């Protein structure tokens, strides 16, 4: 992989529109972001794959929304992988990168390190949460874990909660360069039909468990345009999604040249964590003196670790409004 390729394409989200199909979309390439997310932890490869897929989804979904602060994915299941949590922070100013962080919680004793990834979530829920900052009412939408992949869960969420036909194509793989450890690369394409009223969404859907799908939301020429675009998307190859030799704009021409793709300015994205001593103090404020006592070490320090970036914090109990145990 050339340095120029990494600078130009990696860790970016490219918005586009297919004018002939009334469809919008995003192309994402994540490289350094995934490396920085995953190097904070020592996850088995099967967990890393789920975290990488969640990060890709978060990047593309977050960039489609006129977001002022944070979009989060929370994926909870009763299987060996209990939780995957991601955050996308919108740029504070035009031209600045968006920031992503992610982590997972899992039961190592139950995990099948050689098995497929998605089934190890078990039964549970896929949630998208949008926080627009102080003074704004947070939004959340929840759908069941269904469809065999996190991408399918996200498609179901948009059909069920937003009545917005959505399709993802994702690819993740570990690349190796001489003298270096394997590193994850990810690439994806998001398609969404332009928002409009969906009178066909009433009643039970055709998806798993009666959930709505894109086919339940469109008819006539809209359905024909959407089907044509998704069939073209299904022809994409893994090397086109994550390889260094096809840029995102070239990929769009290869896939959708007859739909007249129109691209917009790419959004850079970086790994970033918003934890700080002050935020940890605020989080500690909900605990009782008894709880703080359990968190206090033998040398009289209250400790906390950030699950996202691994930062370690130590406080004196009196900094948190409690007296140290004598």
Q: Is residue 134 part of a domain?
A: yes
Buried b (16+ CB within 10 A) or exposed e, 6-31: eeebbbbbbbbbbeebbbbbbbbbbb
Provide the 8-state DSSP code for 136: S
**pLDDT, mean over the chain:** 88
- Does residue 310 share a domain with residue 217? no
- Does residue 40 share a domain with residue 20? yes
- Does residue 21 share a domain with residue 63? yes
Q: Where are the alpha helices (DSSP H) in 172-307?
A: 220-234, 238-242, 248-256, 277-284, 289-295
pLDDT, one tens digit per residue, over 240-263 is 999 888 999 999 999 999 999 999
Q: Is residue 200 part of a domain?
A: no
Q: Is residue 2 part of a domain?
A: no
Comparison of pLDDT for 122 and 134, the residue scoring more: 122
pLDDT, one tens digit per residue, over 74-94 is 999 999 999 999 999 999 888
Domain that includes residue 315, residue range: 277-320
Provide the 8-state DSSP code for 296: B
What is the rounded average pLDDT of the residues 309-325?
74
C-alpha–C-alpha distance, residues 13 and 10, integer Å: 9
pTM of the model: 0.88
Instruction: Find, among 2, 6, 4, the residue nearest to 185 by Cα.
Output: 6
| Domain tally, the chain | 2
């Amino acid at each position: 992989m050339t340095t120029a390729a990494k600078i130009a394409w990696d860790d970016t989200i490219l918005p586009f529109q297919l004018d002939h199909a009334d469809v919008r979309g995003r192309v994402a390439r994540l490289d350094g972001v995934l490396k920085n997310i995953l190097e904070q932890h020592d996850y088995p490869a099967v967990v890393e794959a789920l975290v990488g897929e969640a990060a890709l989804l978060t990047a593309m979904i977050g960039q489609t929304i006129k977001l002022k602060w944070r979009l989060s994915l929370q994926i909870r299941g009763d299987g060996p992988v209990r939780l995957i949590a991601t955050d996308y922070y919108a740029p504070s100013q035009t031209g600045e990168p968006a920031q992503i962080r992610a982590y997972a919680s899992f039961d190592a004793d139950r995990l099948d390190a050689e098995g497929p990834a998605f089934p190890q979530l078990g039964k549970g829920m896929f949630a998208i949460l949008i926080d627009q900052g102080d003074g704004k009412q947070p939004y959340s939408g929840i759908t069941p874990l269904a469809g065999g992949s996190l991408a399918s869960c996200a498609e179901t969420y948009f059909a069920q909660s937003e009545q917005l036909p959505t399709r993802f194509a994702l690819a993740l793989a570990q690349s190796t360069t001489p003298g270096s450890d394997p590193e994850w690369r990810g690439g994806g394409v998001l398609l969404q039909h332009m928002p409009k009223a969906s009178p066909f969404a009433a009643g039970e859907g055709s998806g798993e468990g009666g959930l709505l799908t894109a086919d339940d939301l469109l008819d006539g020429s809209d359905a024909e345009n959407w089907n044509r675009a998704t069939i073209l998307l299904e022809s994409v190859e893994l090397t086109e999604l994550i390889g260094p030799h096809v840029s995102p704009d070239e990929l769009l021409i290869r896939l959708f040249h007859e739909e007249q793709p129109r691209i917009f300015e790419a959004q850079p994205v970086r790994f970033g964590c918003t934890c700080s001593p002050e935020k940890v103090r605020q989080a500690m404020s909900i605990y009782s003196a008894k709880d703080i006592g359990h968190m206090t070490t033998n040398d009289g320090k209250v400790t906390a670790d950030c699950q996202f970036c691994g930062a370690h914090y130590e406080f004196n109990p009196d900094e948190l409004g409690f007296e140290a145990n004598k």
